Each structure stands twice: as C-alpha cells, then as structure tokens.
A = this chain, B = another copy of it.
Amino acid sequence: MPELRRDPVSGEWVIIATERSRRPHDFRKSEESDSPKPERLDTCPFCPGNEGLTPPEICAFREADSLPNTPGWWVRTVPNKYPALTEAGDLNPRRVGIYTAMHALGTHEVIIETPLHNQHPATMPPDQWQEAIRMYRERALSLQRDPHFQYVLLFRNHGKPAGASLEHPHSQLTALPFVPEVVQRKIDGIMRYADQRGGCLYCDMLAQERDSGTRVILENTHFMVFAPFASRYPFEVCILPKHHAAHFAQEPPDVHRVFAATLQEVLQRLARILDDPPYNYMIYTAPVNLEHEPLFHWHLTLAPRLAVPAGFEMGTGVYINIVAPEEAAEYLRNTATKRE
C-alpha cells in the first residue's frame, strides 16, 4: 500500500508506492522508437477493444446502445492501474521516532481523451477536445463532492521526457485528503497579498499583464494567456480566467468551451514553434471541503520540458530558465493558428 512520508527537515511529503516498484535491471536505458503511430494498437490499454486491459471504467461518454467496458465510447475515465494513491482504509498516521508516515489515501484516475491512438491534443477535432474537457469537469465535480478529499488535481503529461508512459492521449486526475504544499504556498501568497493590499493577486496580475503587454500571448472573451513573469520553464504558459473564480470545475459550460478552445490554441502554437515538445500542464484550483473557502483564482500552468532541472535547482529551489518569458510570449503571440 502506498505510504505518505514527511521529510522531517523540510516538512515536505512524498509518497512511497512500492506497488510500482521495479528491479534495478529494469531501470537500464532503452532506446525510444520514433515510428509513425497507428490509429489503433493491439497492445495499448487505452485503445477501443482493449477495455479489459484497464480496471473497469468509472465514467464514459459513449453511444447509447453500447455497454460499459466495450467500444462505443469517445471519452473514457478509468482508475489508474498503478495508482500512487489508494482508496482503501484510513490515513492511519504513525510516528516512529523523528519520522511521521500515513497512508496515501486518495484516488488516481486516467481520462482517455479520444479512442484514436494517433490523435494529438493540439490537432484533434475541436469537438472531440471539447468532450475531453467536459470529462475533466464531470470527474472533478464528482470528486469534489466526496467529503474525504480536500484537493482535486487535473494534470496532463505529454511525451516521454514529461513523464508520459503511454502515448495514447490521456490526462490524469487525483484527489487528495489534504491541501498539497504547492497549492498551500499559493494560498499563503494570495492571503498575504489580500491582507497587505486588498483584492486578488491574480486579478491584479491580469491587469498588470494587460497594461504591460510584453508577456501577453492572447486574450479572448474569458481568458488571458501569458508567459509568467517568473517562469521556471522555457515557454511556460499561464491560462487565467479574466473573471475571478476559485474553482475550475464550477465554471459554467460556456466558460469551459472557451477554455477548451483556448488550451487547444496554445497547444497548437507550442507544437508549431517547438516541434511537438514534451510538456506538463496542471490545473490549479481552490481546495474543497475546508471549513473556510480560501481565496483562490483558478488557472492552468503549462510547462514545456525543454531543459532538465539539475543539481542547481535541486540544491537551491531556484530554477534556471534560459528563455525570457517576454521572448517566449513574442514567439507565441506571433504564431496565431487558423481554426478549422
């Protein structure tokens, strides 16, 4: 059973998940194949006809006459076969001398974004992508309602250097019984700002980015897209709602439709400029089921994985970014794509 462990010095938590353990030999390097991808792969657990290779589905958008765990779906959510979090039991914290540990309670789901193995999030039909994002919302809303959880994280790993182990387009969803440190630090910063200056830090950032313009990539009815001032990663992108809203999942459908189109536009521009780079994106949203609703302003952060954080980053926490966000924004601003 995976276990949460706290570093007694820094206070940071890690998950020890030995269910996914490998032998030393399995870590040895192997060559990556770069052959063209087929529409369907017999061995891919996310391809139609292979539904039996995943745990039973949690939710699927599928044809009315199709049965669960058979073809006929266009977006499908399943439990992660090798979850980092477990749904069974209690937190069961234990102390051993200076150390603290507890069970890694939570859920870990996979959203299969399309039945077609060789589709790409940047270029799949917009209707299909809209449906994938609709599933993000459905699943996030569902998990938020569970009082055991305090945080729901949606993220996507694209490409092997970004940690994707399967190439069939998919995102992941985790629900945690605590507010993770990265989010808590954001909340702390937001609270500090509100105390000192009044108002929402992200709303003020939006206004300042618009005034300055140098880091703006695009702006539409609902979103401001820009390269963050303190980008950790080359070509890092932030998609920020122009209205103040704490929860991604509680946005109305029209906001989600514009969000899907905006995200796909960003992915297209990145794919064009950087030749389909590996990337991660994370949707940062407000915690749920706390006694007090914290101030938050949800947003998506996209981090292309073009550089390797190394000893310096690990030793200091300070990231070295070799592309100024102003330069990245200029490239991404001037590479508008035509919508089909």
Residues of A within 8 A of B (CB): 4-18, 20-22, 24, 27-29, 84, 96-99, 151, 153, 155-157, 160-164, 172, 174, 176, 180-183, 185-186, 189-190, 193, 201-202, 204-205, 208, 212, 228-232, 234, 273-275, 277, 280-282, 284, 301, 303, 306-312, 314-325, 327, 331
Contacts and interface: CB of A to CB of B under 8 A. Distances in A.
A324 B18 contact: yes
B312 A155 contact: yes
Contacts of A230: 5-8, 12-14, 99
Contacts of A4: 318
Contact of A180 (B12, B156, B317, B323): B317
A208 B14 CA distance: 20
Given A182-B317, A321-B16, A275 B234 contact: no
A189 B27 contact: no
B324 A153 contact: no
A15 B201 contact: no
20 contacts: A7-B229, A10-B185, A14-B231, A14-B319, A16-B325, A18-B323, A21-B322, A21-B327, A22-B323, A24-B274, A153-B312, A155-B314, A157-B310, A161-B308, A162-B310, A163-B309, A174-B316, A182-B316, A282-B315, A303-B314
A284 B318 contact: no
Given A314-B280, A315-B180, A321-B15, A186 B10 contact: yes
B281 A311 contact: yes
Nearest to A270: B24
Given A29-B275, A84-B312, 9 more contacts: A9-B190, A12-B317, A14-B232, A14-B319, A18-B322, A18-B323, A27-B277, A155-B311, A174-B312
A162 B314 CA distance: 11
A206 to B, nearest CB: 10
Contacts of A307: 163
Q: Do most interface residues of chain A lie in helix, strand or loop, or is the interface mixed? A: mixed
Contacts of A9: 185-186, 189-190, 201-202
B176 A208 contact: no
Contacts of A10: 182, 185-186, 189
A117 to B, nearest CB: 21
A192 to B, nearest CB: 9
B324 A98 contact: no
A280 B310 contact: yes
B275 A321 contact: no
A61 B193 CA distance: 52
A235 B188 CA distance: 33
B321 A180 contact: no
Nearest to A3: B324
A217 B207 CA distance: 54
A163 B214 CA distance: 30
A176 B316 contact: yes
Contact of A320 (B12, B15, B309): B15
A63 B81 CA distance: 60
Contacts of A317: 12-13, 180-182, 185
Contacts of A185: 9-12, 317
B308 A162 contact: yes
